[in-house]
A = this chain, B = another copy of it.
């Protein structure tokens, strides 16, 4: 959004340092701590109280994965100082088809980020004000609409505006877990009082590797958003790769410690996963002994950072759409900004799709999560694999040699082998997680994404083929030019003889001397009137009356045009000049036959027929 401008839109003095960078880019990643632990518990609770013993070990596994991904992305940040999103890295290092897969995965991921973050934000609100529970879908839809409007208007805040809520969240969460841990050490932290009704996703599984893997897969939602910094490097102050890398590492440290401490405490207080009250809410009121001011601060901070995470997608989705549209994978219109200097079409599209998801899944994080992380880990895997291949290419270079690719410049690096191993290991781990996720969540909804991603790839390829085909057809290579136009015939369909008709006739006279007015007659008396008036006002031009006993209007006209067309010489062009009223009020245009539009549709595939409407403003 703000921190990641396109070169044409922003001047370089708006770059940011580590402190502000953390505020701008961390909301998406940090906000996932608000639901990751809870979603693990939803799966584990089928085991009863035994569940709590698995939460912390799983959190440790997730934090190890976080470490591997962070190390891997740290290398991307240095390799792509102009931005190394998964699409660009895959496109430059693996190939066209995998890059389409990456684009499809990322676009679905952005949509899901909005749906999941907003749903989780609403769940926080509902935890504090339970009476809003039955309106949660409406609140979520309203929030999406609000973010859409804000983004359509264009956001003019600086990165500093982001600093306040992000640091507010970091501070309140650290206060909460520190108070919790302190009370735990002094032995005064009890279990959660008056817990909400338990909800679990399945009741049919016993304990076993599958259950643990499913819980782990849910927990990996904590890693979503970590790739944001790699996309946004150009926003950083020089040395930007170094600044971005530092920011990434700090963000991961915060994320990891929050994930560990929230999971540890949630297990200890025996928090209950529920749609009615979030685990964060239970943790905060247990740590602070009730719903006081500090509790309120945690809920507000969590809600706000979740909304900000959704907002991030409203910058990323249109931007990636524009990049892929420039490469011809999506309609070209997505590369244009609207009058408020934002990619309005992409913003509206994202809001509509996210709203659809929220309504279908009833704003339930638990029901949305199975769709979420497949796309994220797919893009992680492709991006890291692309990086590994890039190191391989670098290993082949000679010292001092440079290889310029579309997204970055490759220079020899003596440590290429180690770095290739790091990225390769990252790709391997995230790839394994992706497969675990897809397998364990398949029936719960992951299949939807597994269907959508290839479908999108097919659509991308179809669009790209269309543009290539068109470019070939329109090319001026070996083109002899068109023959000169010999004769220009003008046809004016008229409903009556009035000022609008005369305006069209006047215009037609500047086109050609060969003018024919055509009246479709539903009523012989009306036809006589038209004929008489035309004698006075028609400037001596031909008038053809087409009888229409069956009260047809457009068909006799088309028949006449087809006749003229059949008799036409080569090099002869036909223009149909349609008089058209422009009423003062938009609704009044419903009261007029849209003759020009209808003719345009009907004659679309006829060569050398042009339809012009001459507007006549009625005031």
- A residues contacting B by CB (< 8 A) are 6, 8-9, 322, 331-333, 335-339, 341, 463, 466-467, 469-471, 473-476, 479, 481-482, 484-485, 488, 497-500, 502-503, 506-507, 509-512, 522, 533, 537, 549-555, 573, 575, 581-583, 588, 590-593, 600, 604-605, 607, 609-619
Contacts and interface: CB of A to CB of B under 8 A. Distances in A.
A485 B619 CA distance: 22
A404 B500 CA distance: 35
Nearest to A507: B610
A57 B485 CA distance: 84
B337 A551 contact: yes
Contact of A507 (B338, B485, B592): B485
Given A512-B510, A588-B466, A337 B500 contact: no
Contact of A474 (B331, B476, B500): B500
Given A8-B550, A551-B9, A573-B510, A591 B332 contact: yes
A19 to B, nearest CB: 29
Given A337-B551, A550-B337, A582-B605, A502 B482 contact: yes
Contact of A8 (B331, B470, B551): B551
Contacts of A615: 604, 609-610
B583 A466 contact: yes
12 contacts: A331-B590, A332-B591, A332-B592, A336-B553, A337-B551, A339-B555, A471-B498, A475-B498, A482-B502, A609-B615, A610-B614, A611-B612
A352 to B, nearest CB: 15
A511 B614 CA distance: 14
Contacts of A616: 474
Given A476-B499, A551-B336, A610 B612 contact: yes
B473 A499 contact: yes
Given A8-B550, A605-B582, A510 B488 contact: yes
Nearest to A473: B618
Closest 4 CB pairs of A and B: A474-B498, A336-B553, A612-B612, A337-B551
Contacts of A613: 600, 610-611
Contacts of A550: 8-9, 337, 341
A612 B615 CA distance: 11
Given A331-B591, A466-B591, A474-B499, A509 B485 contact: yes
B332 A593 contact: yes
Given A336-B593, A470-B583, A485-B510, 19 more contacts: A6-B551, A8-B551, A331-B591, A338-B552, A341-B550, A341-B552, A463-B591, A466-B591, A467-B591, A471-B498, A473-B619, A474-B499, A474-B500, A475-B499, A481-B502, A482-B502, A485-B506, A507-B573, A610-B615
A588 B467 CA distance: 9
B610 A339 contact: no
A607 B592 CA distance: 19
A470 B579 CA distance: 14
B466 A479 contact: no
A533 B476 contact: yes
